[in-house]
Amino acid sequence: MSANMFSRRALQLTQRRLSQSTGQEILASQRLNRPISPHLSIYKPQITWYGSALNRITGATLSGVIYAYGALYLVSPLFGWHLESASLAAAFASWPIIAKVLVKASVAFPFTYHSFNGLRHLVWDTGAAFTNKQVIYTGWTVVGLSVVSAIGLTFL
């Protein structure tokens, strides 16, 4: 064995008093040498990322639309607006087919996605389907069911 392996090295430490400005300069130069934290762009996106974001977006969108409609329905008599079901159905019936399909699809997908993902969360609340493989599988299952059911609701 080498003799250097067991030798001790002594480091000499010194203390000196620094002014506040000198201390700030040293701190600033040390910060320049620190590694930059990794950004999200270096990570491989997962279905769980998109699923979580989409669940929040669809929930906020659906609740926002419901609150806005409720508020408008509440004040509609003050302004003479007709927001009752018969008036809305008649107005919707007069739209061109493409507009109806686009509106129905834009309402159907958020509704179905948020509903199916809510069921997925209820399954998780029981403690089931928590392995990585199951989470990925259920995530894609929710997407598939949402797309198929949204298409079905759109053309109903």
| Domain 46-154 class in CATH | mainly alpha
Beta-carbon contacts of 48 under 8 Å, excluding residues fewer than 6 positions away, are 135, 136, 139
- Domains in the chain: boundaries: 46-154
Give the tens place of pLDDT for each residue, 6-28. 666 666 777 778 888 988 999 99
Kindly state the DSSP code that residue 41 receives in the 8-state scheme: G
Give the tens place of pLDDT for each residue, 48-58. 999 999 999 99
Give the tens place of pLDDT for each residue, 79-121. 999 999 999 999 999 999 999 999 999 999 999 999 999 999 9
114 is in an annotated binding site: yes
Residue 142 near residue 120, CB atoms below 8 Å: yes
Number of continuous H segments (helices) and E segments (strands) in the chain: 5, 0
